[in-house]
Structure formats: C-alpha cells, structure tokens
Amino acid sequence: MAENAKWYVVHTYSGYENKVAATIEKAVENRKLQSLIHDVKVPTIVEEEIGADNVKKEVERKLFPGYVMIKMVMNDESWYIVRNTRGVTGFVGPESKPVPLSEEEVLAFGMEKPEINVAYAVDDSVRIVDGPLSGFIGNVDAIDTGKNMVRVIVSMFGRETPVELELDQVEPLE
C-alpha cells in the first residue's frame, strides 16, 4: 500500500455504485487530483447462472451493493470531492467519519494483490509444502502469477500427474 493513501468505503444510493465511481474518476481527471484519489472500485464477482431457457450465462454481481471503495489520501479537498458527489450518502465509519480499511480487509476483499516473489522457474524441481500432497517433489510445468497458480508434474503411482497449486504451496529444492 502507498504511504498515505488508504482504502475507504463510501455509501451510495443502491444502484448508483457505477455512476458514483465514474463521476469520481471524472472529477479526479478534470481537477488533476491523481495524487489524492488513486483508485475507485466497485467490487464485483462473476457467477454462472442458469436461465429459464436452461442456458448457462455469466452474471456480474456486486459484492457490496450500495458501497464503493476508494483509495485516497484523506484531506479536506479529497473528502469534499467524494462527499459532494451526486449519489454519495457518506463515508462508512462512526458518525460518518471516514475510517480506512485495514490491510487484512483490503487483501480479503481483493482490492490489492500481495506481491509474491517466485523463487523458481519452469523445469525447476520443487517440493510441495502445503496441502494433501505436502512432501511430494516434482518439476514446474507452468507458472501463472496473475492467477496465483503453478502447475507441477508429480510422479504418483508410477505415473506423471499434473497438479495445480498456489504459488506459495511450493518451494524450490536446494
């Protein structure tokens, strides 16, 4: 996280989340306030839904309807810009005093991804250190840092078996 910028939660009228986010982003651009307001997000999740015609389709739903997350440096100017945006009813906190999210909350809500340093590469030998295959040794087949996944080829029962794990579930062999 940046030195002064923290994530704050803003309450909006239900259904106005995207409009509020777009209006704040436009105000930041017009007034050149990128140093104060860094990011505006409406947390969503994509779910599969089966419609009346038995067809699967992906639907994007808001995780927190009526709320917008804003990463900003809190001062009078940034508070005024956000608070006086049409559709905003106030900041989340006691007596509408803005309270920043903790780092644990930011990571839990997926607002920012922690930096993971991968100490191994494709074709390196690694040891699985977590999960049901803990202790197994295999070779890295593929690494996808965006999805936080690594595919390791492990020999089980005399067969080469690909296993998908999270990046921190394996460590390089010394």
Residue pLDDT, tens place only, 127-170: 999 889 999 999 999 998 777 889 999 998 889 999 999 888 89
Q: Give me the domains of the chain, ranges plus CATH numbers.
A: 6-108 (3.30.70.940), 125-172 (2.30.30.30)
Extract the tokens encoding 92. 């989340």
Q: What does pTM read for this prediction?
A: 0.65
Q: Is 143:154 a contact under the CB 8 Å cutoff?
A: no
Extract the tokens encoding 154. 């492990």
What CA dihedral angle connects 131, 135, 137 and 143, to 10 degrees?
30
Whether residue 3 is predicted with pLDDT greater than 70 in this model: the reply is no
Q: pLDDT digits over 77-124, tens only?
A: 999 999 999 999 999 999 878 999 988 888 777 777 666 778 888 999
131-147 in b/e form (b: 16+ CB < 10 A) is eebeebebbbbebeeee
d(CA 107, CA 51) in angstroms, rounded, equals 33
